[in-house]
Structure 1
Amino acid sequence: MASVRTFTLPHYPDYPIHIALFKDVSNAEYLRSKLLEADSAFDYAFLDATTVSLFDHDHIISPTQLLSAAFLALHLHLTSRSKSRTPHSELVFRLHPNNNIGESYRKFGIADSTTSLIAVKLGLAPEITNESVAKHLGEHVKGESVPLGEEGQELGQWADEAKLRKIYKLEPAGGGKPKKGAVNGDGAALDPRKEMEAVILGLMTIKGS
C-alpha cells in the first residue's frame, strides 16, 4: 500500500483530492504508457515532482500550487468548461501558464526518465477512496512511497527552482533588485521565493478565469 494524503477543498468538500509522493521510481515509462493508452485504471494526474513546489526559504509551506490546479480542474469539470480530455489532464494543463496542452504535459507531466513522482487522484466517484488509491498505486508504482504530513510539506523535496523559474518566465534567483514590502510600510525586502509563489498563483488564476 502506498502512503496517500487526502485533502478536502472548502468549495468542493464532496470531491476529495488524493495525493501520493514517490521517490526512486523505476517504471515511469510504464506508467506513462498507460496514460498514453488512456487506460481508465490509470486515470491520474502523474506529475514530475521537480516542477511542483511552492516554498519559503528551504521548506515547502503548503501544496498551494497543486491544490489550486486541482480546484480549477474540478471547477471546470463540474461546470462543463474543461479544455482537455479528462479532469486529471485538465489539472496538468492548469499548472502551465500558457494554453498549449501538449506543452503542459511536457513541462509538468511524467516523463520516461522521471524518478520523483507525484500522483493525484480526484475523488469524482464514491468508490475512489484513500484506501483504493493507496492500494492501486502501491501495486503499480515501482518506487519508495514518501508519507505526506498534514500540510503536504514534503511535496517540494525534489522541486527544481531553476526549472520552475524558466517555465513561468521568472527572473533567476538574485537576478533582480530586492523589492521592498509594502505591508505596514516596513520597507523590508520581500522573500524572492514568496514573491515567486505569488506570481505563479497569479498566472494560474488568470489562465483559469
Structure 2
Amino acid sequence: METHTFHHVEPSQSQAHVVLVQDVQNAQAVLEDVKRGGEKFGEMPMALIDAKMICSSSHLLVSIHQAILRNARKIDGKTTGLRTKSIHSEVLWNLSITNNIAETFRIFGLSDTTKDLLLIHIAHSPEQGGPRAKDVLQKMQSIVEGDITQEGLSVLDSWQGDESEQRMIDWDAICKAYKLGDMTVSHNDIDDSTIDQVDVEQTIRKRIDSIVTSLVAMKFVAS
C-alpha cells in the first residue's frame, strides 16, 4: 500500500491510502455489499476503481488530488466543492468526462467481473485524528480477497517497461470512455522511421495517458 500526503491542502482530509489488489476473488460479494450501503467498510469508506480503466499513477493521483481540493472548498465551515455525496465518490466522478455519476460508476467502478481493483481511502493524517496506514491496509485486506501488490503505484506504470511485467489495461475501453476515437498511429506520425512496432505501441499509450490525465485535471477547472 502507498500513502500520499497532500501537505498543501488544509484543513481538509489530506492523506490518500491506495492499494492495488490483483486477481480479485470476491468481486461480486464486495459489489453486493456496496449496493447494500457498504456495511463491511463501516467507518472507513473507500473509492473502488477497476484498475483496467487507469492508464498510470498520474492518471489516478490527479483524480484523487482534485477530489481533495474540492473537499477543501468550504464556506461557513461547510463543504461546498464536492459534486457528489462523498470525497470517495468524487474520485470516480473526476475520472469521467460525463457528469452522470451512475454512468461513471458503471465505467470506472467495481463490477462483478473486476479482476484488478484499486481501493482508496482518504482521511486526515494520524496526527489529525485519522487512521494509521497499517489499520487501513488491514481493513482493505478484510474486505477484498486477492493479491495485494508489493510494488505500490509503480505497477500502474508497468506498461512503460518490460512487456512481461505489464498489467492488464483496457486501452480500447479507455479510448471509448474518453471519446478519443481512433488513437492508432503509423510510422509517418513519428520522426524516426526506423522505430519498431513496440515503440509505436508505446507512443500510442503515452499519448492516451497524457490526454486522459489532462482531461481529469481540466474537469476540476471546467466544473
Q: TM-score range by the shorter chain?
A: 0.7 to 0.9
How far residue 108 of structure 1 moved from its aligned partner, in angstroms, is 0.4
Residue from 126, 131, 141 that aligns with 1:128: 131
Residue from 67, 70, 77 that aligns with 1:73: 67
Alignment of 1:1-209 (within 5 A): 4-9=1-6, 11-12=8-9, 15-39=14-38, 41=42, 43-54=45-56, 63-79=57-73, 80-124=80-124, 126-149=129-152, 152-155=153-156, 157-174=167-184, 179=189, 191-209=203-221
Q: Given that residues 28 and 112 in structure 1 are in contact (C-alpha distance below 8 angstroms), is that contact kept between their aligned partners in structure 2?
A: yes
When residues 178 and 144 of structure 1 are mapped into structure 2, their CA distance, relative to the original with a 3 A threshold, is same
Q: Given that residues 17 and 122 in structure 2 are in contact (C-alpha distance below 8 angstroms), is that contact kept between their aligned partners in structure 1?
A: yes
How far residue 179 of structure 1 moved from its aligned partner, in angstroms, is 4.5
Q: Given that residues 4 and 17 in structure 2 are in contact (C-alpha distance below 8 angstroms), is that contact kept between their aligned partners in structure 1?
A: yes
AA aligned to 1:51 is M
Q: Percent identity?
A: 23
Task: State the TM-score, normalizing by the size of structure 1.
Answer: 0.80
In the alignment, structure 1 segments of 5+ residues that lack a partner are 55-62, 182-188
Q: Given that residues 5 and 148 in structure 1 are in contact (C-alpha distance below 8 angstroms), is that contact kept between their aligned partners in structure 2?
A: no
How far residue 168 of structure 1 moved from its aligned partner, in angstroms, is 0.9
AA aligned to 2:176 is K
Q: Given that residues 183 and 208 in structure 2 are in contact (C-alpha distance below 8 angstroms), is that contact kept between their aligned partners in structure 1?
A: no
Distance 2:142 2:104 in 1: 27
Q: Describe the superposition over 1:94-145 as per-residue Cα deviations: whole angstroms up to 9, x where unpaired.
A: 0011111111100000011212111111123633221111111112211111
Q: Secondary structure at the match of 1:12?
A: coil
How many residues align? The count is 189
Task: State the TM-score, normalizing by the size of structure 2.
Answer: 0.76
Moved more, 20-29 or 36-45: 36-45
Distance 1:44 1:141 in 2: 12
Distance 2:68 2:51 in 1: 21
Instruction: Please identify which structure carries the higher helix content.
Output: 2
When residues 179 and 18 of structure 1 are mapped into structure 2, their CA distance, relative to the original with a 3 A threshold, is same
Q: Given that residues 18 and 121 in structure 2 are in contact (C-alpha distance below 8 angstroms), is that contact kept between their aligned partners in structure 1?
A: yes
